[in-house]
Structure 1
Amino acid sequence: MSNFEQSSPQIYVTQKQATQASNQREKFVVQFWGVRGLIPTPGSNTSRYGGNTACVEMQLANKHLVFDGGTGLRILGKSWLKQQQPLEAHLFFTNSQSNRIQGFPFFAPAFISENSFHIYGTAASNGASIKQSLYDQMLLPHFPYPLQVMQSELQFHNFHPGKIVKLDDVTITTALINKIQKSIGYKIRWQNYSVAYVTDLGNEVDPNEQENIIQLVQDVDLLITNISNPFSFHKTDSSNSHWQTAVDLAGIHNIKQIVFSHHHPDDSDDWLDQVQIEIASAFPEALIAREGLILDVGQ
């Protein structure tokens, strides 16, 4: 099947996968594969927290959901190859900026014909769909192979902010959280669990965006958000202005846990260690994300 064709979703289940699904069906697991913003930042100063750009995997209800496709998506893809089974997954993008999509050309499972991926996003600031944005970055001279060489079934779903996506008993609510960056936030609900993925909070939020953000984060078990505005002047010393917005939201809107991700390229391991101490003093149920972090939501 052409990777541009639309069809009804199919789920391929082997006996091994069914056993794993039985063990995991009642769990909502979140894993961080990329935690950096703007550009990948490898090096000795970032080795403990990680230098790959944004990618978060959620496993729930026998489904794989992925939020953003930075360079962490390549590492996730390598992990999935070890499963040796047909895969179906759903990829959701905050926006079409390079740090959110740059891992997609290196996502190995997309080159395997038995696999199927649903890709969700809204229009970029230039009007390009998520399909067009992913397609364009794989054109010469940027990349040697076009998107068409990906043999998996790729189904693209363009939506306007506010759309609700239903995947059986999993509900994904979308909202515009940053008009300037054309960024989308997500709330994922399943059974009695909920997670908000809101990783493009600015230093200043207009009233409409504020209302959207509140709707996404209200009463969630886990809020995944950014530790600072990556486009602002970066301070080398610790400052609670980088995280206070999210902590304030947690106090007012009954957020049980916060994980800060999308770290600035200049955020060294030592700097993030210090921020972790500061945040914990204000909100004990807060963590700084690092690559490989796994959370069992609601536990």
Structure 2
Amino acid sequence: MSNIELSDSHHVKQTTSSNDPVGEFSVEFWGVRGLIPTPSTNTSRYGGNTACVEMRVAGKRLIFDGGTGLRILGRSWLKLNGPLIAHLFFTNSQSNRIQGFPFFSPAFVGENCFHIYGTAASNGASIKQSLCDQMLQPHFPYPLQVMQADLQFNNLTSGSKVTLDDVTIETALINQNQRSAGYRVSWNNYSVAYMTDLYQGANEIDLGCIRELIEGVDLLIANATYTPPTAHNHESPDLLWKTALNLADGAGVKRLVISHHHPDDHDDFLDSVQTEVKNAFTQALLAREGLILSVVGGN
């Protein structure tokens, strides 16, 4: 039973798309960059779009974060037949997590339905308010109300659990300062954790929430530890990923994917980080746009 706070809009029955065979559990990366989009010839191999990850599990479509990668994902969905039902989970309301939402084409199609989830921002704004505000003048020419799809907003609190048939999404605040949520998606004894606001020096409360969500997961998606912009450099690349790797190692995580690459991290540098990470943990890799991983079977 879910303890989310549902919006006043009517419920839409969850259906399984004929394009997604029941039993599939896969992860696709549509945006892997943190902070700000970085399109350039030096980021073409890993990608320059900000955070967006799609999970297809038991015929359901789950999206985590709505950075500029969400625009690319949306365009790919326009090729699908029939009404779309999907669930969008936001880790926080910072610009790099929500900036693709105004350009999410399927949200402008009336027959589609999107369930949108998020925690309150540091200023108390709900996820609905945060998404609405970025689409107001002078930031954007059209308000959220021009989207014709059925948008159902759900306010999460730390410890919330969303149940979609036999798929469970658990939530916890993993970064109190940023009011950032982490997620664990479970189905049929398989699980994926999405943790993209890890930071050095996390307090015991945050660490406890993180460990609980990542314990024994088949796949952990985490950020390379962020540092203040003035301190970012390429002299000690191991400092960027050791927090995630140490947490994964201590929690019995089977595979680790490091995402949310810093805007200054060009392809050649990320190649060097990839080598270091693989040497430390053979079941770890860096995320690239277009990367697809199967949770069932481990490919």
Name the TM tier (shorter chain).
Answer: over 0.9
Q: Secondary structure at the match of 1:243?
A: helix
Which residue is 1:239 aligned to? 237
Q: Which amino acid aligns with 2:43?
A: T
Counterpart in 1 of 2:186? 189
* Superposed displacement of residue 11, structure 1: 3.9
**Residue number in structure 2 paired with 1:44:** 41
Deviation at 1:162, TM superposition (A): 1.0
1:156 aligns with 2:159: no
1:220 paired with 2:223, answer no
The residue aligned with 1:119 is: 116
TM-score (structure 1 length as normaliser):
0.94
How far residue 238 of structure 1 moved from its aligned partner, in angstroms, is 4.3
Q: Could you say which residue in structure 1 is the equivalent of 2:76? A: 79
Q: Structure 1 residues 230, 37: CA separation in 2 closer, same or farther (over 3 Å shift)? A: farther
Secondary structure, in 3 states, of the residue corresponding to 2:43? coil
> CA–CA distance in 1 between the matches of 2:82 and 2:46?
30
Q: 1:287 aligns with which of 285, 288, 293?
A: 285
Q: Separation in 2 of the partners of 1:250 and 1:48?
A: 26
**Partner of residue 6, structure 1:** 9
Unaligned runs of 5+ in 1: none
Paired residues, number: 290
Partner deviation per Cα, 1:118-172 (whole Å, 9 max, x = no partner): 0000111111000000000000011000000000000000121111111111111
Partner of 1:65, secondary structure, is strand
Q: Say what the alpha-carbon RMSD is for the aligned residues.
A: 1.3
Query: SS at the partner of 1:36?
Result: coil
From 18, 22, 27, the counterpart of 2:24: 27
Hey, what's the Cα distance between the residues in 1 that align with 2:102 and 2:108?
9
Map Cα deviations across residues 5-36 of structure 1 (whole Å, 9 max, x no partner).
511222466xxx42x33xx2122010000000
Contact 1:230 1:264 in 2 (8 A): no
Q: Is the counterpart of residue 64 in structure 1 residue 67 in structure 2?
A: no
- Segments of 4+ moved more than 3 angstroms: none
Q: Percent identity?
A: 61
List alignment gaps of at least 5 residues for structure 2: 1-6
The 10-residue stretch of structure 1 (24-33 or 61-70) with the greater mean CA deviation from structure 2:
24-33
Q: Distance in 2 between matches of 1:230 and 1:285?
A: 25
Quote the Cα distance in structure 2 between the aligned partners of 1:97 and 1:111. Answer: 23
The Cα shift of 1:239 comes to: 2.2
Distance 1:72 1:231 in 2: 24
Amino acid at match of 2:282: P
